[in-house]
Amino acid sequence: MTAHKMLDEKFYSKSLGEELNLIICLPPDFSPLYKYPLFIVQDGKDYFQFGKLARHSEELAVNEQIQKAIFIGIPYKTVMDRREKYHPDGKQNEAYIRFLAFELVPYLEERFPSFQMPTSRFLMGDSLGASVSLKAALLFPFTFGNVILHSPYVDETILALAEKADPARVKIYHIIGDQETAVETTGNEVLDFLSPNKSLEQILTSRGFDYYFRVFNGDHRWKYWQPFIKESLQFMLPVNTFDLESMRA
């Protein structure tokens, strides 16, 4: 298989008042003549390093099990920086979500050929990265129509948004480990992730979201999330999801 084309870029966010790094992963045969779905990935470096996202997406695309897509990873700077941006109560959480919806999406869609529809935009993250992804999708379903959640941190803010959001607008993939009952967090707390995730599942199921949920055998580590990367992509982006129309005039 031919390797993905990896680009390292910097983006200045007015909402955050700072520069962020972007890791952009293009399909090996990327062509500006065709449109692509966009995946915006929190904890971006971790997904490429520990989740083997580029390798798995390439393998699935070559085998015609998913549609080709562009993946944009956003690495966090420090653990505390990550918490301030990703945690629902973080000081920069609202600004980070504005950056995703109102700055990053327009930049990417000007930079790369894409379908420019909420159904063709995907958010993805693990733990707090999953929390901010879900919060952004529930708040801005006309921008983000899909979200992949690997063991999200779920609190009352997230549950309340799930109760109010339009189930016709957002497609969700969601996994949590059966041993995630005492997770050590960056806030120096030990929290039960499993119970609130099950509460979230009950809300999303009862409200009729296009939704996949699984409790896996394991805890809050990449060792357990990595095997589900392929499954999440196949659920979200089966081959022929979008018409690969030519960009030629």
Judged by average pLDDT, the poorest of 67-71, 184-188, 205-209 is 184-188
pLDDT, position 188:
84
Asked if the model's pLDDT at residue 242 lies above 90, the reply is: no
CATH architecture under which domain 5-237 falls? 3-Layer(aba) Sandwich (3.40)
Q: Specify the pLDDT at position 238.
A: 93
Q: Check whether 249 has a pLDDT greater than 50.
A: no
Beta carbons of 61 and 240 less than 8 angstroms apart? no
The answer to whether residue 247 scores a pLDDT higher than 90 is no
Q: How far, in Å, CA of 57 to CA of 62, rounded?
A: 9
Q: Residue 102 and residue 99: Cα distance in Å, rounded?
A: 6
Six-digit token string for 38? 């966009």
Does residue 150 carry a pLDDT above 70?
yes
Lowest mean pLDDT, pick from 153-157, 163-167, 188-192: 188-192
For residues 179-194, give the mean pLDDT.
92
Cα 231 from Cα 176, distance rounded (Å)? 14
| % of the chain surpassing 90 pLDDT | 92
* Structural contact between residues 85 and 108, judged by C-beta atoms closer than 8 angstroms: no
Residue 80 has pLDDT above 70, yes or no: yes
Sign of CA dihedral 46, 52, 53, 54: positive
- Report pTM: 0.95
Average pLDDT over residues 81-86: 98
Does pLDDT of 116 surpass 90? yes
